[in-house]
């Protein structure tokens, strides 16, 4: 909310200030949720620690809904679902390790992967340029649909008419929409991607925990 207030203080258009605040919400969730979850000793502790990041963002989204005409209540709820899915994926990644150091390492890796997904318009250009058009469009679609910020802004396309790769500065930086046509902006693919990732990681964590307990029980029985 400080970003939104600063934008208004610098006389940015209200929509631009809201988009900047939305970008910070997404970035903060991607970076902070795994790190906070890593310090939870149990799965529930990790869920509570990491989930509070998405829940705090919901409060910010409700303020933006009240302050910005382009942010509708359904859009705020959809964005919250995206942030919750991203947070759950980061939280689940930390449960792959047993030790505190291992969980912190998993958290850093998860944050790095999420940050790379958020930065896809900046680094995807080479892959798009070097591939046949059909393949390039598939790569562009993956870069867009796995990007939580694209998904969040897709919730505002009907009211804000904002497309990230068509923004004045980004249009000169990214090759999405240039070398390869961008796919239609949709909010739910990213939520599905990160919920699926969270489910897979949670299953792997449970299997790893079961294997560790079995080996521990075998060692105890042998002793």
Task: Output the tens digit of pLDDT for each of the chain's 223 residues.
Answer: 899 999 989 999 898 999 999 999 999 999 999 999 999 989 999 999 999 999 999 999 999 999 998 899 999 999 999 999 999 999 999 999 989 999 999 999 999 999 999 999 988 888 787 788 888 888 899 999 999 999 999 999 888 888 888 887 787 788 887 778 888 889 999 999 999 999 999 999 888 776 666 655 565 555 5
User: How many angstroms separate the CA atoms of 216 and 92, rounded?
Assistant: 23
Q: Determine contact, residues 26/56, Cβ cutoff 8 Å.
A: no
Quick one: tokens of 141? 């679609």
DSSP SS3 for 13: coil
221: Cβ contacts below 8 Å, ≥ 6 apart: none
The overall longest dimension of the chain from CA atoms, in Å, is 71
CA atoms of 127 and 175, how far apart (whole Å): 10
Q: What is the model's pTM?
A: 0.90
Task: Please tell me the distance from the alpha carbon of residue 57 to that of residue 15, in angstroms, as a whole number.
Answer: 18
Listed in sequence order, the residues at least 6 apart from 116 whose beta carbon sits closer than 8 Å to its beta carbon are 123
Residue 149 is classified by DSSP as H
pLDDT of residue 133: 81
**Closest alpha carbon to 64 in 26, 115, 10:** 26
């Amino acid at each position: 909310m400080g970003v939104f207030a600063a934008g208004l203080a610098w006389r940015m258009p209200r929509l631009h200030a809201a988009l900047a605040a939305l970008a910070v919400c997404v970035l903060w969730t991607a970076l902070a949720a795994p790190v906070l979850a890593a310090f939870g000793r149990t799965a529930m502790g990790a869920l509570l620690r990491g989930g509070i990041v998405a829940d705090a963002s919901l409060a910010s989204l409700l303020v933006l809904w009240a302050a910005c005409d382009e942010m509708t209540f359904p859009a705020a709820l959809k964005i919250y679902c995206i942030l919750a899915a991203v947070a759950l994926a980061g939280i689940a990644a930390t449960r792959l390790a047993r030790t505190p150091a291992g969980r912190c390492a998993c958290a850093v890796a998860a944050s790095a992967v999420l940050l790379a997904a958020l930065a896809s318009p900046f680094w995807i250009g080479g892959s798009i340029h070097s591939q046949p058009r059909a393949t390039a469009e598939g790569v562009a679609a993956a870069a867009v649909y796995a990007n939580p910020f694209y998904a969040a802004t897709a919730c505002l396309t009907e009211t804000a008419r904002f497309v990230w790769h068509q923004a004045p500065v980004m249009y000169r930086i990214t090759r999405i929409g240039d070398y390869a046509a961008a796919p239609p902006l949709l909010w739910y693919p990213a939520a599905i991607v990160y919920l699926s990732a969270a489910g897979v990681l949670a299953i792997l964590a449970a299997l790893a925990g079961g294997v560790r307990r079995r080996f521990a029980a075998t060692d105890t029985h042998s002793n």
